[in-house]
Each structure stands twice: as C-alpha cells, then as structure tokens.
Chains A and B, each alone.
Chain A
Amino acid sequence: ELVLTQSPATLSLSPGERATLSCRASQSFSSRYLVWYLQKPGQAPRLLIYGTSTRATGIPDRFTGSGSGTDFTLTISRLEPEDFAVYYCQHYPGSPPYTFGQGTKLEIK
C-alpha cells in the first residue's frame, strides 16, 4: 500500500515569502500520477496541479510543482494572503486506490 507523507505538517510564513511543501511516497511512481489540491476552511478542495507540474485552469504561475520518483514538491514563489490554506498531495494512478497525503497547513506567521 502506497503512503504519501507530507512535510512539514505546518508551515508558518509571511505574505511575500516563498513556500516549499514536500510530498514523499513510500514507493516510486510515475510523475503523471501526482496531484496537488488546496483546501480552505469550510470549503471543498480545489485542484491546483496535476501530472506533477501542470497547473490547473486559473491557477497563477506563482505555483510550481516538481519532482519525480518518490519526492515531489510544491513551491509558491511569493505568498499572497489567499494562499494560506491546507495543501494535499495525491497519488492518482490509472486505477484505484487514489491515496492522499495527510496535508500541510500553510499559516500566516
């Protein structure tokens, strides 16, 4: 069973700073299958990035996804106030299960 471990659990930064979120898998998989979502309190998750590095429609270019094998990273170049949320990575392969990481909470310092 594949496990995704996100770190850190909580990241405290200020607007304008750079954020780096990690997602590490217990076994290697294709970069086609790594997805990132963000979720704000009381809201549904929102698709951010799929295929490790392709931004979803309407996602600004300050969000960058990278990685391969077992190590994947979401970088937010200059934090805006609306970026403070919980971020989840997901393994979304051709067949289930579709495993989520436990999330990284990005909070305002």
Chain B
Amino acid sequence: QVQLVESGGGVVQPGKSLTLSCEASGFTFSNYGMHWVRQSPGKGLEWVAVIWYAEDNKSYADSVKGRFTISRDNSKNTLYLQMNTLRVEDTAVYFCSRGLLDSMDVWGQGTTVTVSS
C-alpha cells in the first residue's frame, strides 16, 4: 500500500526553525520526485518545494526560497523540509506528495505548523 506519513509539525515562534519529515512506504522511494505543498487555514493549496531523483535537483517557491531546504534520505525512505526564519504567514498544513512527470499522485495526510508568538 503506497503511503506517505508526515510528522514534525508544531507551534513555533517567529524567526525560529522547524524540520518536517515525510516517511514513504509501499513504493521505491528513490525512483520518484517528491513535493511539499502547504495549505494555510481556510485557504487554497500552495506548492512549496520539489526534489527530484538526483538529490541536487531542487526547486522552491519564491515565498520560501532562501529560508526552506528540501532534502531526502533514500536509505530511510524519508523526505525532509527544513524551515528556517519562520514567519506568521508560514502557518499552514504541510503535505508531502509524490511527484510524477504529469501530476502529484499520492499525498500524505499533512502536518500542521503554527507560527505564533
């Protein structure tokens, strides 16, 4: 059964850091690109970052560029999102998703990040 499970969310003060994890199972993790997508409370979906098969092939949304880092450990079937210098506007549910060439076909249930003083 193909599954993605996010963890690491929580409440953090503005300016602080947090690292999210996404553990994959049921498929060959190293063969797929992986995305992070977020959803602010009551809002729509916003693509955050992608990492492709080659771990040095990464891209970021302008809103997080320079503050967030996406990475993966294929030996652990795990995707990460290191979030630095967090802002109130980063408050959201963060989803990881599997990236195909034409869509995001599998999604995790999400982990909630709240940035508040």
Contacts and interface: CB of A to CB of B under 8 A. Distances in A.
Interface residues of A, number: 26
Contacts of B88: none
B35 interface: yes
Given A44-B108, A44-B110, A99 B47 contact: yes
Interface string A4-22: 0000000000000000000
B69 to A, nearest CB: 15
A37 B69 CA distance: 26
Contacts of B105: 47, 56
Instruction: Tell me what chain B mostly uses at the interface: helix, strand, loop, or mixed.
Output: strand
A94 to B, nearest CB: 8
A88 B59 CA distance: 22
A101 B44 contact: yes
Q: How large is the interface on B (under 10, 10 to 19, 20 to 34, 35 or more residues)?
A: 20 to 34
A33 B104 CA distance: 12
A43 B93 CA distance: 11
A50 interface: yes
B29 interface: no
Contacts of A46: 107
A46 B46 CA distance: 15
Interface string B56-70: 000111100000000
Nearest to A47: B105
A60 interface: no
Interface in B94-109: 95, 97, 100-109
Contacts of A94: 101
Interface of A: 32-33, 35, 37, 39, 43-47, 50-51, 56, 88, 90, 92, 94-103
Given A92-B103, A98-B47, A98-B104, 17 more contacts: A37-B45, A43-B109, A44-B108, A45-B95, A45-B97, A45-B107, A51-B102, A56-B105, A90-B104, A95-B59, A96-B59, A96-B60, A97-B47, A97-B59, A100-B45, A100-B47, A102-B44
